[in-house]
Amino acid sequence: MADPKIAPHAYFREAFVPFADAKLSIASAPVLYGLSIYTVIPVFWNKTEQRHYIFRLPDHFKRLQNSAKIMAFDDFLQGWNQSKFDGIVKQLIHINKLEQDCLVRISVFVDDLLQGTRMRGLKHSLSAFVYPASSLLPKEGARLCISSWRRTPDNAIPSRAKINGSYANAGLMKHEALENGFDDAIALDEQGHVTESTVANIFLVKNGLLITPSDSSDLLEGITRDTVFGLAELLGIPYAQRAVDRSELYVADEIFLSGSSMNIAPVIEVDHRTIGSGKPGALTRQLLKEYDRCVRHQVGAYAEWSTPVTVL
Protein backbone atom coordinates (compact mmCIF):
# COMPACT_ATOMS: atom_id res chain seq x y z
CA MET A 1 0.00 0.00 0.00
CA ALA A 2 1.31 3.45 -0.93
CA ASP A 3 2.13 5.94 1.77
CA PRO A 4 -0.87 8.33 1.94
CA LYS A 5 1.51 11.31 2.12
CA ILE A 6 2.95 10.47 -1.30
CA ALA A 7 1.00 11.49 -4.41
CA PRO A 8 -0.56 8.57 -6.31
CA HIS A 9 1.31 8.92 -9.62
CA ALA A 10 5.05 8.44 -10.18
CA TYR A 11 7.42 8.43 -13.12
CA PHE A 12 9.46 5.25 -13.51
CA ARG A 13 11.50 3.88 -16.41
CA GLU A 14 10.08 6.15 -19.13
CA ALA A 15 6.43 5.94 -18.05
CA PHE A 16 3.93 7.44 -15.62
CA VAL A 17 2.74 4.67 -13.31
CA PRO A 18 0.90 4.26 -9.99
CA PHE A 19 3.36 5.00 -7.19
CA ALA A 20 2.84 1.50 -5.77
CA ASP A 21 4.09 -0.01 -9.06
CA ALA A 22 7.41 1.90 -9.10
CA LYS A 23 9.60 -0.86 -7.66
CA LEU A 24 13.24 -1.97 -7.77
CA SER A 25 14.65 -5.46 -7.38
CA ILE A 26 16.44 -6.39 -4.17
CA ALA A 27 19.32 -7.42 -6.45
CA SER A 28 19.61 -3.99 -8.11
CA ALA A 29 22.67 -1.76 -7.80
CA PRO A 30 20.92 1.09 -5.93
CA VAL A 31 19.57 -1.34 -3.34
CA LEU A 32 22.79 -3.30 -2.93
CA TYR A 33 25.31 -0.45 -3.18
CA GLY A 34 23.45 2.88 -3.12
CA LEU A 35 24.46 3.54 -6.74
CA SER A 36 22.02 6.32 -7.49
CA ILE A 37 21.94 10.10 -7.47
CA TYR A 38 19.08 12.43 -6.74
CA THR A 39 17.72 15.92 -6.40
CA VAL A 40 14.68 17.32 -4.57
CA ILE A 41 12.85 20.12 -6.38
CA PRO A 42 10.62 22.48 -4.36
CA VAL A 43 7.30 23.41 -5.94
CA PHE A 44 5.20 26.24 -4.53
CA TRP A 45 1.47 26.79 -4.81
CA ASN A 46 0.38 30.33 -5.73
CA LYS A 47 -3.13 30.66 -4.31
CA THR A 48 -3.89 33.86 -6.21
CA GLU A 49 -3.07 32.37 -9.59
CA GLN A 50 -4.18 28.83 -8.64
CA ARG A 51 -1.06 27.32 -10.15
CA HIS A 52 2.26 25.80 -9.13
CA TYR A 53 5.68 27.33 -9.68
CA ILE A 54 8.73 25.07 -9.81
CA PHE A 55 11.71 26.73 -8.17
CA ARG A 56 14.97 26.82 -10.11
CA LEU A 57 14.14 23.86 -12.31
CA PRO A 58 17.13 24.27 -14.71
CA ASP A 59 19.53 24.45 -11.76
CA HIS A 60 18.23 21.16 -10.38
CA PHE A 61 18.75 19.46 -13.73
CA LYS A 62 22.25 20.92 -13.94
CA ARG A 63 23.07 19.61 -10.45
CA LEU A 64 21.75 16.17 -11.42
CA GLN A 65 23.99 16.29 -14.49
CA ASN A 66 26.99 17.26 -12.37
CA SER A 67 26.31 14.38 -10.00
CA ALA A 68 26.04 12.07 -13.01
CA LYS A 69 29.41 13.28 -14.33
CA ILE A 70 31.08 12.58 -10.99
CA MET A 71 29.50 9.11 -10.89
CA ALA A 72 30.13 8.32 -14.58
CA PHE A 73 26.42 7.85 -15.31
CA ASP A 74 27.00 8.27 -19.05
CA ASP A 75 23.74 6.66 -20.14
CA PHE A 76 21.75 9.34 -18.31
CA LEU A 77 23.93 12.17 -19.63
CA GLN A 78 23.42 10.99 -23.20
CA GLY A 79 19.71 10.21 -22.93
CA TRP A 80 18.34 13.22 -21.09
CA ASN A 81 18.25 16.93 -21.87
CA GLN A 82 16.67 19.96 -20.19
CA SER A 83 13.54 19.92 -22.35
CA LYS A 84 12.75 16.26 -21.65
CA PHE A 85 13.44 16.69 -17.95
CA ASP A 86 11.25 19.81 -17.66
CA GLY A 87 8.36 18.14 -19.44
CA ILE A 88 8.39 15.10 -17.15
CA VAL A 89 8.49 17.23 -13.98
CA LYS A 90 5.65 19.49 -15.15
CA GLN A 91 3.49 16.56 -16.22
CA LEU A 92 4.06 14.73 -12.94
CA ILE A 93 2.98 17.75 -10.91
CA HIS A 94 -0.02 18.30 -13.16
CA ILE A 95 -1.40 14.75 -13.01
CA ASN A 96 -1.09 14.56 -9.21
CA LYS A 97 -3.18 17.72 -8.69
CA LEU A 98 -1.80 18.72 -5.27
CA GLU A 99 -3.03 22.25 -4.60
CA GLN A 100 -0.33 22.94 -2.03
CA ASP A 101 3.43 23.30 -1.69
CA CYS A 102 5.13 20.05 -2.59
CA LEU A 103 8.46 18.44 -3.39
CA VAL A 104 9.50 16.36 -6.39
CA ARG A 105 12.17 13.80 -5.60
CA ILE A 106 14.03 12.57 -8.65
CA SER A 107 16.55 9.73 -8.68
CA VAL A 108 18.80 8.39 -11.42
CA PHE A 109 19.96 4.87 -10.72
CA VAL A 110 22.05 2.05 -12.16
CA ASP A 111 19.26 -0.12 -13.53
CA ASP A 112 20.91 -3.52 -13.65
CA LEU A 113 21.24 -6.62 -11.49
CA LEU A 114 24.29 -8.20 -9.90
CA GLN A 115 26.83 -6.03 -11.71
CA GLY A 116 28.88 -5.32 -8.61
CA THR A 117 29.93 -1.71 -8.11
CA ARG A 118 30.30 -0.95 -11.83
CA MET A 119 28.68 2.25 -13.08
CA ARG A 120 29.88 2.93 -16.63
CA GLY A 121 28.47 0.94 -19.53
CA LEU A 122 25.24 0.07 -17.72
CA LYS A 123 21.69 1.30 -18.12
CA HIS A 124 20.62 4.29 -16.00
CA SER A 125 16.94 4.94 -15.37
CA LEU A 126 15.06 7.85 -13.80
CA SER A 127 12.33 7.78 -11.19
CA ALA A 128 10.30 10.65 -9.72
CA PHE A 129 7.52 11.08 -7.20
CA VAL A 130 5.72 13.97 -5.49
CA TYR A 131 4.87 14.51 -1.86
CA PRO A 132 3.51 17.43 0.20
CA ALA A 133 6.08 19.78 1.70
CA SER A 134 6.27 19.87 5.49
CA SER A 135 8.51 21.44 8.11
CA LEU A 136 11.54 19.27 8.85
CA LEU A 137 12.51 21.29 11.93
CA PRO A 138 10.58 23.37 14.49
CA LYS A 139 9.50 26.66 12.92
CA GLU A 140 10.27 28.56 16.13
CA GLY A 141 13.90 27.45 15.89
CA ALA A 142 15.93 24.23 15.93
CA ARG A 143 18.31 22.87 18.56
CA LEU A 144 21.43 21.40 16.99
CA CYS A 145 24.58 19.63 18.13
CA ILE A 146 28.03 19.14 16.65
CA SER A 147 28.18 15.52 15.50
CA SER A 148 30.93 13.17 16.63
CA TRP A 149 30.83 11.77 13.08
CA ARG A 150 32.92 13.65 10.49
CA ARG A 151 31.66 14.56 7.03
CA THR A 152 32.99 12.24 4.34
CA PRO A 153 35.77 14.09 2.47
CA ASP A 154 35.74 14.88 -1.24
CA ASN A 155 38.34 12.21 -1.93
CA ALA A 156 36.12 9.55 -0.33
CA ILE A 157 32.50 10.34 -1.28
CA PRO A 158 32.18 13.88 -2.70
CA SER A 159 29.47 15.93 -1.02
CA ARG A 160 28.97 18.11 -4.09
CA ALA A 161 27.34 15.08 -5.73
CA LYS A 162 23.98 14.04 -4.29
CA ILE A 163 24.74 10.33 -4.05
CA ASN A 164 22.07 8.30 -2.27
CA GLY A 165 24.57 5.95 -0.66
CA SER A 166 26.51 8.81 0.91
CA TYR A 167 23.55 9.69 3.13
CA ALA A 168 24.43 6.85 5.47
CA ASN A 169 26.89 9.43 6.82
CA ALA A 170 24.06 11.89 7.43
CA GLY A 171 21.94 9.11 8.93
CA LEU A 172 24.54 8.38 11.59
CA MET A 173 24.65 12.06 12.50
CA LYS A 174 20.88 12.46 12.63
CA HIS A 175 20.48 9.33 14.74
CA GLU A 176 23.06 10.55 17.24
CA ALA A 177 21.42 13.98 17.44
CA LEU A 178 17.93 12.62 18.05
CA GLU A 179 19.19 10.11 20.62
CA ASN A 180 20.74 13.00 22.54
CA GLY A 181 17.62 15.17 22.46
CA PHE A 182 18.53 17.52 19.59
CA ASP A 183 16.64 18.24 16.37
CA ASP A 184 19.57 17.80 13.99
CA ALA A 185 23.36 17.73 13.76
CA ILE A 186 26.15 19.84 12.30
CA ALA A 187 29.02 18.08 10.57
CA LEU A 188 32.69 19.05 10.76
CA ASP A 189 35.24 18.16 8.08
CA GLU A 190 38.53 16.37 8.67
CA GLN A 191 40.19 19.70 9.57
CA GLY A 192 37.55 20.43 12.19
CA HIS A 193 35.79 23.15 10.19
CA VAL A 194 32.01 23.47 9.92
CA THR A 195 30.52 21.97 6.75
CA GLU A 196 26.70 21.74 6.92
CA SER A 197 23.88 19.97 8.75
CA THR A 198 22.68 16.50 7.81
CA VAL A 199 20.62 17.70 4.82
CA ALA A 200 21.07 21.48 4.63
CA ASN A 201 23.68 24.21 4.34
CA ILE A 202 24.40 26.45 7.31
CA PHE A 203 24.69 30.24 7.67
CA LEU A 204 25.63 32.36 10.65
CA VAL A 205 25.36 36.08 11.26
CA LYS A 206 27.96 38.08 13.18
CA ASN A 207 27.90 41.87 13.46
CA GLY A 208 25.62 42.17 10.43
CA LEU A 209 27.79 39.95 8.20
CA LEU A 210 26.26 36.79 6.73
CA ILE A 211 28.83 33.96 6.77
CA THR A 212 28.73 30.44 5.33
CA PRO A 213 31.38 27.72 4.87
CA SER A 214 33.23 27.84 1.54
CA ASP A 215 32.70 25.39 -1.33
CA SER A 216 35.92 23.56 -0.40
CA SER A 217 34.53 22.55 3.02
CA ASP A 218 33.12 19.17 1.90
CA LEU A 219 29.59 20.46 1.48
CA LEU A 220 26.84 20.37 -1.10
CA GLU A 221 26.81 23.53 -3.21
CA GLY A 222 23.15 24.05 -2.42
CA ILE A 223 20.66 25.71 -4.76
CA THR A 224 18.84 27.31 -1.82
CA ARG A 225 22.25 28.42 -0.50
CA ASP A 226 22.85 30.16 -3.82
CA THR A 227 19.38 31.69 -3.58
CA VAL A 228 20.30 33.17 -0.19
CA PHE A 229 23.32 34.80 -1.84
CA GLY A 230 21.05 36.35 -4.45
CA LEU A 231 18.54 37.59 -1.89
CA ALA A 232 21.35 39.02 0.26
CA GLU A 233 22.57 41.03 -2.73
CA LEU A 234 19.03 42.23 -3.43
CA LEU A 235 18.60 43.32 0.21
CA GLY A 236 22.09 44.84 0.54
CA ILE A 237 23.26 42.29 3.13
CA PRO A 238 27.04 41.66 3.02
CA TYR A 239 28.08 38.00 2.97
CA ALA A 240 31.25 35.93 2.95
CA GLN A 241 32.20 32.34 2.13
CA ARG A 242 35.13 31.06 4.19
CA ALA A 243 36.29 28.39 6.63
CA VAL A 244 34.15 28.46 9.78
CA ASP A 245 35.36 27.24 13.18
CA ARG A 246 33.09 25.32 15.53
CA SER A 247 33.36 27.93 18.28
CA GLU A 248 32.15 30.66 15.89
CA LEU A 249 28.74 29.04 16.01
CA TYR A 250 28.56 29.41 19.79
CA VAL A 251 29.07 33.19 19.64
CA ALA A 252 27.04 33.90 16.49
CA ASP A 253 24.26 36.46 16.61
CA GLU A 254 22.05 34.28 14.41
CA ILE A 255 22.19 30.90 12.67
CA PHE A 256 19.92 29.34 10.07
CA LEU A 257 19.88 26.37 7.69
CA SER A 258 18.94 26.38 4.01
CA GLY A 259 17.94 23.61 1.63
CA SER A 260 15.39 22.56 -0.98
CA SER A 261 13.46 20.47 1.56
CA MET A 262 14.28 22.81 4.46
CA ASN A 263 13.75 26.23 2.84
CA ILE A 264 15.20 28.58 5.50
CA ALA A 265 15.11 27.17 9.03
CA PRO A 266 16.17 29.23 12.09
CA VAL A 267 18.53 27.72 14.66
CA ILE A 268 18.28 28.86 18.27
CA GLU A 269 20.70 26.54 20.06
CA VAL A 270 23.96 24.68 19.34
CA ASP A 271 25.46 22.26 21.86
CA HIS A 272 23.24 23.69 24.63
CA ARG A 273 24.46 27.24 23.88
CA THR A 274 21.69 29.72 23.16
CA ILE A 275 22.16 31.56 19.87
CA GLY A 276 21.47 35.29 20.12
CA SER A 277 18.25 35.94 22.01
CA GLY A 278 17.09 32.33 21.68
CA LYS A 279 14.62 33.34 18.97
CA PRO A 280 14.96 33.68 15.18
CA GLY A 281 17.03 36.82 14.54
CA ALA A 282 16.06 39.90 12.55
CA LEU A 283 18.19 39.10 9.51
CA THR A 284 16.95 35.49 9.44
CA ARG A 285 13.34 36.69 9.56
CA GLN A 286 14.03 39.20 6.78
CA LEU A 287 15.51 36.51 4.53
CA LEU A 288 12.67 34.13 5.37
CA LYS A 289 10.09 36.70 4.30
CA GLU A 290 11.92 37.59 1.11
CA TYR A 291 12.51 33.92 0.25
CA ASP A 292 8.79 33.17 0.58
CA ARG A 293 7.95 36.07 -1.74
CA CYS A 294 10.62 34.93 -4.19
CA VAL A 295 9.55 31.29 -4.49
CA ARG A 296 5.90 32.25 -4.93
CA HIS A 297 6.77 34.38 -7.96
CA GLN A 298 6.26 37.69 -6.14
CA VAL A 299 9.74 39.24 -6.64
CA GLY A 300 10.21 40.54 -10.16
CA ALA A 301 14.00 40.61 -9.93
CA TYR A 302 14.03 36.81 -9.65
CA ALA A 303 11.03 35.88 -11.76
CA GLU A 304 13.24 33.74 -14.02
CA TRP A 305 13.86 31.37 -11.11
CA SER A 306 10.21 30.22 -11.13
CA THR A 307 8.83 27.95 -13.82
CA PRO A 308 5.01 27.84 -14.07
CA VAL A 309 3.38 24.45 -14.43
CA THR A 310 1.65 24.58 -17.78
CA VAL A 311 0.91 21.35 -19.61
CA LEU A 312 -0.12 21.53 -23.28
User: What is the enclosing helix (H) or strand (E) of 224?
Assistant: helix 223-235
Mean pLDDT along residues 21-27: 95
Q: 3-state SS of 148-206?
A: EEECCCCCCCCCCCCEHHHHHHHHHHHHHHHHCCCCEEEEECCCCEEEEECCCEEEEEE
How does residue 114 score in pLDDT terms, banded at 50, 70 and 90?
confident
Please, what is the angle between helix 57-70 and helix 223-235, to 10°? 140
pLDDT of 35 reads 95
How does residue 141 score in pLDDT terms, banded at 50, 70 and 90?
very high
pLDDT of 49 reads 87
Residue 3 has pLDDT above 90, yes or no: no
What's the mean pLDDT when you consider all of the chain? Answer: 94
Residue 2 has pLDDT above 60, yes or no: no
Judge contact between 3 and 10, C-beta under 8 A: no
Judge contact between 100 and 121, C-beta under 8 A: no
In the chain the domains, ranked by start, together with CATH numbers, are 9-132 (3.30.470.10), 142-295 (3.20.10.10)
Secondary structure of residue 114 in the 3-state scheme: coil
Higher pLDDT among residues 300 and 232, named by residue: 232
Residue 1 has pLDDT above 50, yes or no: no
Q: What is the pTM of this model?
A: 0.94
User: What is the enclosing helix (H) or strand (E) of 64?
Assistant: helix 57-70
The 10s digit of each residue's pLDDT in 211-265 is 999 999 999 999 999 999 999 999 999 999 999 999 999 999 999 999 999 999 9
